[in-house]
Structure 1
Amino acid sequence: MGEFRVTEPPQATDDETIAAPLAGVVFPLRDVPDPVFADGLVGDGCAIDPLVGELRAPCDGTVVQLARTAHALTLKTDSGSELLMHIGVETVQLQGEGFAAHVAQGARVRAGQLLIAFDLDALASRAKSLLTVVAVANGEQRDIAAREVADYLPVDSGAPLLRLSARATAAPMSGPTAAAEIVEAAAVVRQSGGLHARPAARVRQALAPFTARVQLRAGERQADARSVVALMGLGLREDDAVKVRGEGGDAAAAVAAVVAALETRIAGEVHATSSAGTMASGGGLLAPDVIGGVSAAPGIAIGTLVRWAAERFEVPQRGESPARETDKLDRAFGDVSAAIIAATVAARARQRTAEADIFDAHLALLNDPQIVAAARTRIAAGDSAAAAWQTAIDQQCQLLAELEHSLIAERVNDLRDLERRMLRALGVGSQSGPALPDAAVVLADDLTPSEFSTLDAARLKGLCLIRGGVTSHVAIIARAQGVPVLVGLGDAAATCADGATVIVDADRGRFEFAPDGERLAAVRAELASRQRRQSELQARAQEAALTRDGTRIEVAANITDRRGAQAAYAAGADAIGLLRTEILFLDRDAAPDADAQRASYEVILDAMHERPVIIRTLDVGGDKPVGYLPFPHEPNPALGLRGVRIVELHHDVFEQQLRALLALRRPQQCRIMLPMVTEVAEIIAVRERLTALAAEMGIDALPPLGAMIEVPAAALLAEQLAAHVDFLSIGTNDLTQYVLAMDRGHAGLAPRLDGLHPAVLRLIAQTVEGASRHGVWVGVCGALASDPDAVAVLVGLGVSELSVDAPSVARVKARVRELDLPACRDAVRELLALDSAAAVRRAAKAKWPA
């Protein structure tokens, strides 16, 4: 073998802005259904759900790694950043089908240059996910100083996405000495698809506990085992042989860890195969009177077709005087700003966060200094306010259109929307939308949010767009309002007759423009059935949920803030079963003090009108870090410092929260709940501190204190814990992952992570039994509480409270009313004897059909 050398990577310099390499909707990495990406093992960054099949260079740089299957590429920027762009999840298994590389490894590229083209439709039907990761692979040198686009908002290709800054790094380690341990070993790559991004990240992760320098060698090629990019650059395939060489005091252990990582197949992966037989079967050919579309908002509707034609504005070119026209422009700005702000406030009040974010973006565009300055310049040249504004928008849209191959439709749509809003505010054009019949389905080429807002919501039953996309702003707003939406119908829909009776079946992606009487009757019957069921549920939502034998089951809601409390109360929630307080601690530079917390809790208690509220103390750490609360690095955060364990590190923050809870006007309406309890001593310590603080604050009575059952230890010690608490609440999400030893974020294990597993159910049964010996009630606040198959099982096990999301309250109450408690108890004994979650679920469906 040749001489072993370690070359230090060049230090990154200068701050830089990274553009979006493709157009789509931005997602946080945690939403990527693969723990290697979601946990940031390949680097920090974000993901984009693509709307076009083109990956473009986000800046100038050099292609330092290109997957042989063309599904991933790493670009080294001129400032030293290594940007990994990985198209979709598990797309390496496609063996390059659907991908076409337009550059070669080692190529020098310019910003905006096409790197990889991919077949979006084909990948959508075969890939696990199309979320495309954009990550900084050399995070030891580069930090993400800022994200330029918020999560779940659209971004255009070429628009600013990330701002990077150089990270101060420690001096390089000195070179090896003659006494340094040198260890070599052979390995075979057993990862399906070879050493691509995910296996490479796992190799790097395996090296985290060690200090040794480790390299992989394949022929004449070598790579630093701590560099994901370098490892991918080896181009190793499945079953390729590789040599692992380590140097340093712990080289033997480090090399062994790398060999194990290389030779252990990742759970859930399969051998790469050809595409034959992998395509899902479709639903057959569409009938002649049906046009296929893409569902942007679910639902089904029948209505009279109303063709929407974009309004033509007759704009006066010359103005009265610059002063008068400037005044008109300013007044229009004020009117439109006020309208957008009002729409934002209304959307947030109805918990339509995505809709509110759209209006926030529109307000920012309205106040864009470049557009405003251009309009004022035109007014100074003699144009009317309307003409000046129209010209300023035209100029901006033209600039966007000149960006080669950019998906600028949504941004242009937003600008055109603001253009029309302002023109109407300036007295140009119609102030209202078309008159709609009693039940209308609007068909348009495309639609802006402000145009959508002019439609009579009481008469609008469905929306169909010839163009558009599932993430278009009007689709998001319509979805929030419960209007079924089909997009991408194509030009064939343009020939549909105005006034025809049509069906929008957004559940199945069908626009039926000439349904016969039989089909109409069937859809009307389905709609009537849905409406009756929903009305029945809502009519009784405020009533108690009593089983047929008269046992009351409390149906509560899980929330995070005041708006959630308002929605829960309106939905009929008997209580708040889980108030997650973490939101108060996020997006801040320091923890909120006791007064700020108390004020936040008070408005939630007020929104519930005397109904009890369980407030969970701060549950951060683990997978929920807070920047100003430092935690030590943990190789397995789910098993580390989180929940009530943070008292050990941040007792001052915990005490401030206890003070806030004790200071509430109606402390007995509040129930305090401790997360991640594992032993009695933790509860005793908190109760003692509560008692001491209450005495200090002159408070006589303490709020009820409860504990979450999230770990097997707590369930097994439920009887002992119950002797010191007023209630127990089972967090089935965490309990299931700990009982089954399956990471709840592991995409490959998701189908098996089922809370109806008999082992989980037995621990729930033991919890209820232990608590009952002390007269303590038990609730469930995890996802299992709203699972239709699980409600009867939980009730049969003796759970007396089910806490669910607010929209599920009426449905869960209705489910409870169908049950007979003694019968549920008898049936559950049989379920506990079954051998799998699948068997329990089948039996539950048979005994309690939905």
Structure 2
Amino acid sequence: SASVRITHRGGLHARPAALVRKTAQGFSSQSQLHFAGKSASCASLIGLMGLGIGEQDEVQVTCLGKDCDAALQALVAALSVTTHEHEQAPVIVTARPLNTEAGVLQGVCAAPGLVCGPLLRLHTIELPQDPGNHMREEQLQHLDSALEQVRGEIRNTLEHARQRKAVEEEEIFAAHLALLEDPTLLEAATAAIEHGSAATHAWRDAIQAQCAVLLGLGKPLFAERANDLRDLQQRVLRALLGEAWQFQMPAGAIVVAHELTPSDLLQLSAQNAAGICMAEGGATSHVAILARGKGMPCVVALGSAVLEVPQGQRVVLDAGNGRLELTPDDARHAQVHQIREAQQQRRQQQQAQAQAAASTLDGVGIEVAANVASSSEAQIALANGADGVGLLRTEFLFVDRRTAPDEQEQRQAYQAVLDAMGDKSVIIRTIDVGGDKQLDYLPLPAEANPVLGLRGIRMAQVRPELLDQQLRALLQVCPLQRCRILLPMVSEVDELLHIRQRLDQLCAELELTQRPELGVMIEVPAAALMAEQLAEHADFLSIGTNDLSQYTLAMDRDHAGLAARVDALHPALLRLIAQTCIGAAKHGRWVGVCGALASDPLATPVLVGLGVRELSVSPPQIAEIKDRVRHLDAAQCRQLSQGLLDLSSARAVRQACQHHWPLS
């Protein structure tokens, strides 16, 4: 047995509990978790969630069996890491604003967008009273068949998510699959059938009992996970009743419901719903995450009044501002159509110019590259007009497996990315694990502050063979001059010099006459402050604004209450970016930005003005950022950006940017 402190953000809810269950399944030993006088098997997702374990709670884990030592070590590692969220996923505060405007319901933005259309209200399946005394074997067979049908549907969803590299979607439905196989749930439904219940009612009652447990914990995040159980309730009931998920949906419908489920969202997206709005729900719900990924406007927490709006009534959903306009006049409808048509036309124009290089009006060239995590994403980036890869996250090779990839597998993966990019350069970041990204086969000691511990280049101190193997693989790609190596989490010059020396040694061993360019990520304040010294020995610098923001502002970017304030346009961040560019220029080095700020068109003129010459963005935004660059005057950007360094807050900077360089 062992004690461990839970560092998963929000506690042991569905996705981290699924990680614990998956880890336990890899061993023959029986494992249990103990907390506050209660215990649950690590094989039961519902049992684990039902313990109500919160962030920073201390729990006991026990293992019994032949491989109990290995199981215990793996479970401690799984319990003491922080689940990663998508690097650029927005986190939205979920407090419902007061409704002060007539004819408008105010909620919370879960996914931005502006649409108008008729309302379509969705209802959940309601069962009639169960007369009881059903044939036990027949009902058990019905339930088994329905469960297998839904499992098959979820496996298909998972496969499509994997192919599209939709990590969050994959995690959500992997948790659903684990819930569907949960012994607690299945035993409750089976017991009810044994006592004469119909399979439909037995399944509904088993789900509702577990929902009540989660709702009774009094924790919002766990209450939202009850919605995942309700999703499975509806899916299995449809299978039992032989009902397909199909609604006669008018063109451009805005769907309203008490609370939609993840599978509802996928189906509505497939049927081209224009937008969705819910009476309940929160911005940390799985539906909200999926809506953002699908680009579907979504407002949650509108209150029960939204369910009373007549079916078919034409409304305007201004999701970015959390508004549902119930009685828009013809002029407002025309305005919304005009705005949407203008946006669509602008996107088409931008896409038509996406392959061309981007220069400012006064001739300053800005390279617009892409952040990718695989060769398939690199192909998409090239098709979208990327000038190269500005950040290849190599973690995709190391996660979700029991052993590290060998040198040959790594070399082939890196070569595939270079091949996918034609004749363009590829910047490959060395493995950045530790902190919030853990590997099952690389157990690290539990840390009170993981993001301040062993992560990035610091891993080379404790596992130098991992980095050596990766560097050897990188040195064997062809042509080597198109490969640039980027080192994460560097905080002092000696770290860079050590890796440079090791790289030179490996080049000599492999009898190479040239060494690829070696760059440093500027993501800790120390690196920004030492940029001039680092640039003396590095070939380029790349600013990771996501981590630089949280380390500079001392605010966890995954903290729901602070996330809105972790803004890389804060004057302190801009000063660090300016200092980095000045330091690099003294040695003739170029500076890029590969964090989320590079993808923000409002920030483009500021970054250009401060001296950034490469922006690495998410592939869908390449055309928009290139278009933004082409409308800027670099000299004016330089002049105006200096004034932004003296402003009082990120909000003030954003207002000034809107004034100086309005987004059309």
Aligned twin of 2:159: 345
Give the distance between the partners of 1:634 and 1:329, measured in 2 at CA: 45
Say whether the 8 Å CA contact 1:295–1:470 is kept in structure 2: yes
C-alpha distance in 2 between matches for 1:368 and 1:631:
30
Alpha carbons 2:139, 2:199 under 8 Å: kept: no
1:286 aligns with 2:101: yes
Confirm or deny: 8 A CA contact 2:528 2:576 kept in the other structure.
Answer: no
Residue 312 of structure 2 corresponds to 499
Q: Counterpart in 2 of 1:461?
A: 274
1:720 aligns with 2:642: no
In structure 2, list runs of 5 or more residues that go unmatched: 17-33, 40-48, 62-71, 86-94
792-801 or 295-304, larger mean C-alpha shift? 792-801
- TM-score under structure 2 length normalisation: 0.72
In structure 1, runs of 5+ residues without a counterpart are: 1-12, 29-57, 62-76, 79-110, 115-130, 154-279
User: Which stretch has the larger CA shift, 629-638 or 577-586?
Assistant: 629-638
The question of whether the paired residues in 1 share the 8 Å contact of 2:35 and 2:60 is answered with no
On the 8 A contact 1:643/1:676 being kept in 2, the answer is yes
From the superposition, tell whether residues 649 and 354 of structure 1 become closer, same or farther in structure 2 (CA, over 3 Å).
closer
Q: 1:546 aligns with which of 355, 359, 362?
A: 359
1:580-595 equivalences under 5 Å are: 580-582=393-395, 584=397, 592-595=405-408
Residue 633 and residue 755 in structure 1: after superposition, are their counterparts in 2 closer, same or farther (change >3 A)?
A: same
CA shift digits 1:245-304 (9 cap, x unpaired): xxxxxxxxxxxxxxxxxxxxxxxxxxxxxxxxxxx99777221x3333343333222111
1:353-502 aligned at under 5 Å gives the runs 353-372=167-186, 387-388=198-199, 390-398=201-209, 400-401=211-212, 405-406=216-217, 413-425=227-239, 428-455=241-268, 457-502=270-315
C-alpha deviations, 1:149-170, integer Å up to 9, x for none?
98489xxxxxxxxxxxxxxxxx
Alignment partner, residue 88 of structure 2: none
The question of 1:298 aligning with 2:96 is answered no
Cα shift readout 1:546-575 (whole Å, capped 9, x = no counterpart): 223444321112344556545544543322
Indicate conservation of the 8 Å contact 2:254/2:274, yes or no: yes
2:537 is matched by which residue type in structure 1?
L
Paired amino acid for 2:181? N
Kept in 2: contact 1:792–1:824 (CA 8 A): yes
Query: Which one-letter code corresponds to 2:333 in the other structure?
Result: L
Q: Contact 2:228/2:261 (CA < 8 Å) preserved in 1? A: yes
Shift of 1:728: 3.8
- Residues 318 and 137 (structure 1), Cα distance of their counterparts in 2 relative to 1, 3 Å cut: closer
Aligned match of 2:90: none
The answer to whether the aligner puts 1:614 opposite 2:427 as a matched pair is yes
1:24-54 per-position Cα deviation (integer Å, ceiling 9, x unaligned): 97899xxxxxxxxxxxxxxxxxxxxxxxxxx
Partner secondary structure for residue 246 of structure 2: coil
The count of corresponding residues between Structure 1 and Structure 2 is: 598
What's the CA shift string for 1:586-636, capped at 9, x where partnerless? 677765442343344344445545532211224567887879476999999
Q: Aligned equivalents of 1:662 and 1:356: distance in 2?
A: 33
**3-state SS of paired residue (1:537):** helix
1:761 aligns with 2:578: yes
Aligned mates of 2:416, 2:486 — CA distance in 1: 19
* Cα distance change on mapping 1:733 and 1:716 into 2, 3 Å: farther
Q: Within 5 Å, give how 1:238-277 maps onto structure 2.
A: none
- AA aligned to 1:672 is I
Instruction: Give the direction of change, closer, same or farther, for the CA distance of 1:652–1:485 in structure 2 (3 Å limit).
Output: closer
Tell whether the 8 Å contact from 2:119 to 2:253 is kept in structure 1 after alignment.
Answer: yes
1:664 matches 2:477: yes
SS of the aligned residue for 2:170 comes to helix
Q: Secondary structure at the match of 1:819?
A: coil
Is the alpha carbon distance of 1:395 and 1:486 closer, same or farther for their aligned partners in structure 2, counting shifts above 3 Å? same
1:495–1:580 Cα change, 3 Å: closer
With over 3 angstroms needed to count, the CA separation of the structure-2 counterparts of 1:767 and 1:734, relative to structure 1, is: farther
The structure with the greater share of residues assigned to helix is 2
Q: 2:57 aligns with which of 107, 114, 135?
A: 135
Structure 1 residues 569 and 434, CA gap change in structure 2 (3 angstroms): same
From 673, 688, 700, the counterpart of 2:486: 673
State the match for 2:344 in structure 1.
Answer: 531
- Return the alpha-carbon distance in structure 2 between the equivalents of residues 436 and 510 of structure 1: 22
The residue type paired with residue 532 of structure 2 is L
What corresponds to 1:810 in structure 2?
623
Maintained 8 Å contact 1:831/1:843: no
Higher normalized contact order (CA 8 Å, seq sep 6+, divided by chain length): 2
Instruction: Summarize the Cα distance change of 1:377–1:612 in structure 2 as closer, same or farther, 3 Å threshold.
Output: same
Match of 1:184? none
Task: Letter of the 2:583 partner, please give it.
Answer: Q
Shift of 1:342: 1.3
Per-residue deviation, residues 207-263 of structure 1 (Å, max 9, x unmatched): xxxxxxxxxxxxxxxxxxxxxxxxxxxxxxxxxxxxxxxxxxxxxxxxxxxxxxxxx
Equivalent residues in 2 for 1:202-221, closer than 5 Å? none
What is the root-mean-square deviation of aligned Cα atoms in Å?
5.2
Q: 1:565 to 1:489 in 2, by over 3 A?
A: same
CA distance in 1, matches of 2:522, 2:264: 50
Higher alpha-carbon Rg: 1
CA distance 1:304–1:422, shift in 2 (3 Å):
same
Indicate if the aligned counterparts of 1:617 and 1:673 stay in contact, CA closer than 8 A: yes
CA change 1:319–1:596 in 2 (3 A) is farther
- Alignment partner, residue 92 of structure 2: none
Shift of 1:483: 2.2
| 2:597 aligned with 1:781 | no
CA distance in 1, matches of 2:544, 2:618: 14
Deviation at 1:808, TM superposition (A): 3.8
Identity %: 41
SS in 1 for 2:310: coil
Aligned to 1:514: 327
Cα distance in structure 2, aligned partners of 1:340 and 1:467: 25
> Is the 2:224–2:282 Cα contact (8 Å) retained in structure 1?
no
**CA distance in 2 between partners of 1:641 and 1:382 (Å):** 56
* Contact 2:81 2:446 (C-alpha < 8 Å) held by counterparts: no
Does the aligned pair in 1 maintain the 2:140–2:193 contact within 8 Å?
Answer: yes
- What secondary structure does 2:391 align onto? strand
- Provide the C-alpha distance between the structure 1 equivalents of 2:288 and 2:460, rounded to a whole number of angstroms: 45
Aligned twin of 2:587:
770
Q: 1:770 is paired with a residue of what secondary structure?
A: coil
Partner of 1:507, secondary structure, is helix
Task: Choose between structure 1 and 2: higher strand proportion.
Answer: 1
Q: Tell me the equivalent position of 2:369.
A: 556
Residue 350 to residue 570, structure 1, CA distance change in 2 (3 Å)? farther
CA distance in structure 2 between the aligned counterparts of 1:822 and 1:700, rounded to whole angstroms: 41
Partner amino acid for 1:388? Answer: A
What's the CA shift for 1:440?
A: 0.8
Distance 1:490 1:149, change over 3 A: farther
AA aligned opposite 2:157: A
Secondary structure (helix, strand or coil) at the match of 1:555 reads strand
Task: Write the deviation string for residues 617-670 of structure 1: whole angstroms up to 9, x where unpaired.
Answer: 2456788787947699999996x9865565555432221111111233554432
Residue 340 of structure 1 deviates from its aligned partner by 0.8
Q: Please tell me whether the aligned partners of residues 784 and 790 of structure 1 are also in contact (alpha carbons under 8 angstroms).
A: yes
**Partner Cα separation in structure 2 for residue 707 and residue 633 of structure 1:** 25
